[in-house]
Amino acid sequence: MTSVQDLLDLLILEKVDDTQFIGHSKTVGNQYVFGGQVLAQAINAACRTIHNERILHSMHAYFLEAGQLHLPIVFNVSLVRDGGSFSVRRVTAQQNDTTIFILSASFHKKEEGYNHQIEMKTDLKQPEALLSWNDILHQFGDYLPKRLKTFFEIERPIEFKPTEIVNPLEKKDLPPFSNVWFKLKGDIKNLDLATKQQVLTYISDYNILVSALNPHASVAHWGNTQTASLDHSMWYFRNFDFDDWLLFSMESPNASNARGFARGNIFSRDGKLVASVAQEGLMRPLDK
């Protein structure tokens, strides 16, 4: 999957009937279905049952079973409520009659109201001064752990530029923060808001648990720690475009009981708060 169109084709589901849809999978470098893919596909299914121009404002999801890459995913949408201002949908995703994922999403009619937001960090390097994942692979590939190198070698329609490059060989604990600029590759004009929200949801499952692993970097890394998304929540605040870089600014308030919690804010380059994300993930130390 190398182009934006590849990503859009992946997220737009095949319609079976008014409330059932079928999706397929593409690997992002591991043996199971990428959580961001299922999140975005479920949002696509929910959006296609909304016919009153209401806008997605929040979603909450649980990952129940690892998705199998070779099997189709069947998404069933329950029309929970269509009220005077809000519509709620519940989506279940199944493979071979096993429920692997559930999601609730809420849609709100367009209304005017009060407006405020937190400010984006201003002391971060701009993306033009940073190395992308591809740049890191080309410059330092021979020194990267095998699993990380294999992950970076996968072609993606998204370019990521972390504001800090961590040396995995240093074995040093790091602050529980992570900031990553990201941008879609290629022509991405004329996307409607619902499609942009689905793409943003897909991207939101990248990078977020890094901030939870950072404080344990002296002993923990992706090779000796089993990680998996357990749940994922997202709130969508403002319209935006993909024609410039966006910043995903993340922090981890807690890790305990083999789980790490992380949250983050996504900003446009001019400082507009687009969305907020929260996730708890499995962080299980593996026996040597």
Give the pLDDT score at 288: 60
Question: Who contacts 57 (Cβ-Cβ below 8 Å, separation ≥6)?
Answer: 106, 107, 108, 235, 236, 237
Q: Does 23 reside within a domain?
A: yes
Q: What is the CATH number of the domain that holds 26?
A: 2.40.160.210
Domain assignment present for 117: no
Q: Quote the number of domains for the chain.
A: 1
279 catalytically annotated: yes
Output phi, psi for 6, to 5 deg: -60, -45
276 is catalytic: no
Q: Tell me, what's the pLDDT at 30?
A: 83
Residue 114 Cα to chain centre, angstroms: 28
Q: Which phi and psi (to 5°) does residue 204 adopt?
A: -65, -15
How far is Cα 153 from Cα 147, in angstroms, rounded to an integer? 10
Domain membership of residue 14 as a residue range: 4-110+125-285
For residue 116, tell me if it sits in a domain. Answer: no
Q: Is 18 designated active site? A: no
Q: Looking at the domain assignment, is residue 119 inside a domain?
A: no
The reply to whether 120 falls in a domain is: no
Dmax of the chain from CA atoms? 59
pLDDT score of 144? 73
- 118 inside domain: no
The catalytic residue among 95, 178, 211, 279 is 279
In a domain, 30, yes or no: yes
25 found inside a domain: yes
User: What is the full per-residue pLDDT of the chain (288 aa) written as tens digits?
Assistant: 788 899 999 999 999 999 999 999 999 888 899 999 999 999 999 999 999 999 999 999 999 999 999 999 999 999 999 999 999 999 999 999 999 999 999 999 999 999 999 999 999 999 999 999 888 888 877 767 777 777 878 889 999 999 998 776 788 999 999 999 999 998 777 899 999 999 999 999 999 999 999 999 999 887 788 899 999 999 999 999 999 999 999 999 999 999 999 999 999 999 999 999 999 999 999 876
Please tell me which residue in 205, 211, 252, 276 is annotated as part of the active site: 205
pLDDT for 150 equals 79
| Of 104, 211, 229, 249, catalytic | 229
